[in-house]
Structure 1
Amino acid sequence: MVVNTPPTGRRCPATHPEDPTPCVGPVVVTVLDRFNAGADGCEHHGARLLASLDGGRVYARPHAAPGTAIRVFQAAAGIRPFCWLDGPRTEPSQRSEIENRVRHGH
């Protein structure tokens, strides 16, 4: 099994340059935007990237454990877009999917 782990001191391609968090585990997902541009990432940064995209999708890499894409998808639902930025979150596009569902009674 081939496991792509970012070299020491480097982070996966799915990490936003302003996101200060380190990678958590190997590169196991590919996250695509609505135009099919994408980045490979660890579960942590894959979820954070997916949460910041409108119409994004996540796919497990061939070597990923079963359920990896589902875990990333579910984690992204609870993460605010661009969660590393501080400030009030007053618009639906600034809140997580779960926060928006709770506010709208779904």
Structure 2
Amino acid sequence: MVVNTQPAGGRCPAAHPDDPTPCVGPVVVTVLDRFNGGADGCEHHGARLLASLDGGRVYALPHAAPGTAIRVFKAADGIRPFCWFDGPRVDPSQLSRAENRARHGA
């Protein structure tokens, strides 16, 4: 089995072109949108992508360490959608899921 430890071109497919951050670690997850379109990524970009999707899902790749998908899922909860964009964030769609829960007392 070949394990992708260094993304081709320096960044994984889950990294948004406007997101300036580098990959953190190997490609270990697949993030899917509600229509089953997806991208493989490192934990960092997987979480950022998942946070930006409505109805997204994350799955660990076969070579990933146990708990990888859960870590990405939990990290995405506190990340604002498209977090690399600056500007005021006041609408629920611009806030993280954790921020929306805190606002609504859930």
Taking structure 2 as the reference length, the TM-score comes to: 0.96
Amino acid aligned to 1:96: S
Q: Which residue of 2 aligns with 1:98?
A: 98
Give, in whole Å, the separation in 1 of the partners of 2:84 and 2:53: 14
Q: Which residue of 2 aligns with 1:2?
A: 2
TM-superposed CA distance for 1:2, in Å, is 3.2
Give, in whole Å, the separation in 2 of the partners of 1:34 and 1:77: 17
Give the match's secondary structure for 1:46.
helix
Give, in whole Å, the separation in 2 of the partners of 1:91 and 1:6: 34
**RMSD, aligned CA:** 1.0
Superimposed CA distance per residue, residues 31-71 of structure 1 (whole angstroms, 9 cap, x where no aligned partner): 00000000000000000000000000000000000000000
Provide runs of 4+ in structure 1 moved above 2 Å: none
Give, in whole Å, the separation in 1 of the partners of 2:7 and 2:33: 22
Give, in whole Å, the separation in 2 of the partners of 1:10 and 1:22: 8
Gaps of 5+ in 2: none
Amino acid aligned to 2:7: P
Q: How many pairs were matched up?
A: 105
Q: Which residue of 2 aligns with 1:89?
A: 89
TM-superposed CA distance for 1:3, in Å, is 2.0
Q: Which residue of 2 aligns with 1:28?
A: 28
Q: Which residue of 1 aligns with 2:51?
A: 51
Amino acid aligned to 1:6: P
Gaps of 5+ in 1: none
TM-superposed CA distance for 1:10, in Å, is 1.7
